[in-house]
Structure 1
């Protein structure tokens, strides 16, 4: 089947389909197991509370610039709510928020001049009415405070399920951030997040639509680019300036190191260069791309060492910088789909270990 793509730029506007050759597996054919370098985990979180189920899904990282070792991880249990972990993997807080699927966070500057940690997530509790769930994270205590869960699509929208989610920096006046909700039908809805009457509310702006189920997304603020993973097809790049138009970035197949499903995406940015990391869920690996050129820089698996590896990874995240002696250049986190005999959890890796294993500059 060809690599088909149909884009909607703004409500009701339709652009021509893009056709590219694809090679997603069909009909139960075995998936390829492509070469990758083993990199061991340095740590792991306590398991999520939902046992014997596909429950853990997506992580986000808050780096404590003053005390890096006191940084925090937010992770979803998509059957129950949100966890907050320390870098030791121990639970700092749990908020029973319902079916929260993907999560992201940003430090935002409020109208009163203070800076707060805003946590936002795709809320699929109501499968026909997608919502954005919003929380404050206290960096000192690790506690979450609920702001609310708000619908964001225009009235009369077609029933849809919130699925993937990511945040980008503000692109408009008085905005705190931009939110991108990936609906299960392939639509990506962009909303501005605004401070209003003591709440944070989303305001729908425009959308881009992919031809099939999509989930993972990440925003590169430095270039103003949204990356989206269409699971059985590949990765798309969407410049955020002007009309939303998707461009092919990487496709499922051996050449680009991706085996369907393509799931979580994360951005590792250095001065002068940046790397896009993707979960190649179909063969339990992670592909690293030069985010500017789209060139595949290498692949790795989480394996070896005293901590078990990962498989069937949904969400991933990476933040560069000092996180203490275990993670001196940055922290990479991946959801582990099989943490037997325990429930699913998240594995922690040193970015330095990944960089050195793949020979990244």
Structure 2
């Protein structure tokens, strides 16, 4: 059931959810139609930036059926029913020999590995490349991509749901299919899903759902020494710690945003200090508010007239017309809320 909270008089700060720290209210600007899957179906979005910002696309998984691709108006651009896909991510300039394509990839529970899609930058055509089963992963769950600032190599991180093992793969192309060679793995201990890698700084952030947020180096030669930077303690994050996204500022600054699924909020952390900054909540307005979010993504690029400074995209478990869908938030509102909280800290 949707948890509707009122505004504190004279402020945009909401009453605290349970015993969590009070979140700041923001509103969705665009939403998609509900996905075809029933029940807990929609899961994770990823933003693809087009040369013409208004032509940018949002990928969103339906973990019963496949993947949707949406325009920045929330309209359906493509639907690819390619299996039980859970988490999705996007990178640019993947070399397939005769050309460079952009790539979307997802954790694939139907085939025990990863699914790959190509995006043609000039036409926005999205095509299914195929599924790549992997050994040593029982239930593919969380997923994120990483482009190394050291040598431009492309890597994938795929989590095995239990016991929360993240496996890193080096991705390549053999002329027919994307290849994935395991380079290392780290086990956090319990169910883990959301992850995001910072291509600027070479850091990986991983969410252990009932424990908290961990970070370690994303390079294959970095020590496997995860360090906890946030706890699922009911104050900053209420279980589950789900999606993770980066809001970059400059060469190394900005914020990590984590979906606090248990109380319908988003915890924000400073990327340079790991310090907690604030919490956000997407409330009812012209578009209904957001509850029980799984995956999230952020792009701080120009995404067209409605989102000139980027967007926060989130999964909503209870759309007001039924089913689950995705909501887009103007990143200007998100940045204003974060910067105000940081200035008053």
Q: Tell me which residue corresponds to 2:102.
A: 117
1:39 aligns with 2:18: no
Aligned pair count reads 321
Among 171, 175, 192, the residue aligned to 1:193: 171
* C-alpha displacement of 1:291: 1.3
Aligned residues of 2:202 and 2:217 also touching (Cα < 8 A): yes
Work out the CA distance in 2 between the residues paired with 1:141 and 1:305: 35
Which of 74, 78, 84 pairs up with 2:69? 84
- 2:126 is aligned to 144
Residue of 234, 240, 243 corresponding to 1:264: 243
CA contact (8 A) 1:99 1:125 kept: yes
- Who is 1:18 aligned against? none
Q: Deviations over 1:250-299 (max 9, x none)?
A: 111255x1111000000111114121000000100001110121111111
CA distance in 1, matches of 2:205, 2:167: 13
Distance 1:123 1:190, change over 3 A: same
The answer for the alignment partner of 1:248 in structure 2 is 228
Give the aligned partner of residue 19 of structure 1: none
Q: Shift of the alpha carbon at 1:249?
A: 0.9
**What pairs with 1:207-246 in structure 2 (closer than 5 Å)?**
207-241=185-219, 242-246=222-226
RMSD: 1.9
What is the 5 A alignment of 1:328-339?
328-339=308-319
List runs of 5+ in structure 2 lacking aligned partners. Answer: 1-16
| TM-score when normalising by structure 1 | 0.84
Residue 85 of structure 2: aligned partner: 100
**Contact 1:171–1:178 under 8 Å retained in 2:** no
Q: CA deviation at 1:33?
A: 4.4
Aligned residues of 1:161 and 1:184 also touching (Cα < 8 A): yes
Partner of 2:334: 354
Aligned to 1:15: none
Stretch deviating more after TM superposition (271-280 or 224-233): 271-280
Aligned residue for 1:359, secondary structure, equals helix
The partner residue of 1:178 within 137, 155, 165 is 155
Deviations along 1:105-147, whole A, 9 cap, x unmatched? 1012416473311010000115xxx311111123455432111
- Matches of 1:93 and 1:118, distance apart in 2: 15
Asked if the contact 2:146/2:218 (under 8 Å) is kept, the reply is no
**Does the CA-based 8 Å contact 1:174-1:194 persist in structure 2?**
no
* Conserved? CA contact 2:311–2:329, under 8 Å: yes
Q: TM-score, normalised by structure 2?
A: 0.88
| Offset of residue 174 of structure 1 | 8.3
Matching residue of 1:13: none
Counterpart contact for 2:20–2:234, Cα < 8 Å: no
- Counterpart in 2 of 1:24? none
SS of structure 1 residue aligned to 2:22: coil
Q: How does 1:159-178 map to 2 (within 5 A)?
A: 160-170=138-148, 175=153, 177-178=154-155
Q: Indicate yes or no: 2:267 matched with 1:282.
A: no
Q: 1:303 to 1:174 in 2, by over 3 A?
A: closer
Which segment drifts farther, 189-198 or 72-81?
Answer: 189-198
How many angstroms does 1:69 deviate by?
Answer: 1.0
Cα distance in 1, alignment partners of residues 227 and 26 from structure 2: 31
2:262 aligned counterpart, secondary structure? helix
Q: Deviations over 1:307-344 (max 9, x none)?
A: 00100100000010211232121111000011143221
**Partner deviation per Cα, 1:214-266 (whole Å, 9 max, x = no partner):** 000000111111100000010000113422210111111255x1111000000
| Aligned-residue offset at 1:63 | 1.2
